[in-house]
Amino acid sequence: MIQLSIITPERTIFDGAVDQVTLRTTEGEITVLPHHLPLVSVLAPGELRLRHAGQEVPMVIAGGFVEVFSGSRVAILADDALRVEEIDIAAIEAARERAREALLGVRHADDVSFAAAAAALEKELARLRVARKYRGSRLITPPSHE
C-alpha cells in the first residue's frame, strides 16, 4: 500500500492508503506503485487516477509537484485539484472561454501576462478533457441547457 496525500492551497483532496497512483508529470505519465524509487517531479495539468481495492478514482490536477518518498509515501502539492464528481462541465466550458479570450487579449502584452493566460487556458482544457472522458459516468454533473 501507498500512503497518498493530495493537498491544494485550499484543502486536502485525499489522504489515505491506495494500491497505486497514476499522474502526468511534465516528462510524461507515471504510475507509482508500493516501494517506488524516491523522486520529485513537476506535475502537468491533467488526469490523476488512484486505485484502491480494485476501484479506480479519477481526479483532475491543475499542476503542482509530486514527491515520492521511500517507505511507500507520496505527497502531491497541487495548484488546484478536483474529484471527478465535483466537475461541472458548464462551468468549465465558461471558464475555458474566459481563459481563451484572456489569452487573445494579452497576445501582444508582456511575457508574464501571456504565460499566466496560457496557463489558465491549459488548466481549463485539462479539466474539460477529463470531464468529457467521464461524461457518461454517474460522477459528472451534466451541462445545463438553460
Task: Show Cβ contacts of residue 121 under 8 Å, excluding neighbours closer than 6 positions.
Answer: 96, 99, 100, 102, 103
| pLDDT reported for residue 13 | 92
Q: Which residue has the higher pLDDT, 24 or 103?
A: 24
CATH code at position 9:
2.60.15.10
Residue entry with cell 465535483: 86
* Residue 124 belongs to domain spanning: 88-133
pLDDT for 67 equals 97
If you ran DSSP here, which 8-state letter would residue 144 be given? P
Integer Cα distance of 119 and 45 in angstroms? 9
Residue 19 inside a domain? The answer is yes
Residue 72 and residue 18 in one domain? yes
pLDDT digits (tens, 9 = 90+) for 36-82: 999 999 999 888 999 988 888 888 898 899 999 998 999 999 988 88
Give the CA-trace dihedral at 24, 30, 36, 38, to 10 degrees: -50
Domain check: are 69 and 45 in the same one?
Answer: yes
Looking at the structure, tell me whether residues 110 and 60 fall in a common domain: no
Q: Higher-confidence residue: 104 or 137?
A: 104
- Residue pair 96/121 in contact (Cβ under 8 Å)? The answer is yes
Report yes or no: 41 and 65 within 8 Å, Cβ to Cβ: yes
- Whether residue 145 lies inside any domain: the answer is no
Please, which pLDDT band fits residue 109 given cuts at 50, 70 and 90?
A: low
Domain presence at residue 31: yes
The CA R_g of the chain, rounded to the nearest whole Å, is 16
Looking at residue 107, its pLDDT comes to 62
Q: Where are the beta strands (DSSP E) in 1-146?
A: 2-7, 12-18, 20-25, 28-32, 39-43, 46-52, 55-61, 64-69, 73-78, 81-83
| pLDDT higher than 80, residue 20 | yes
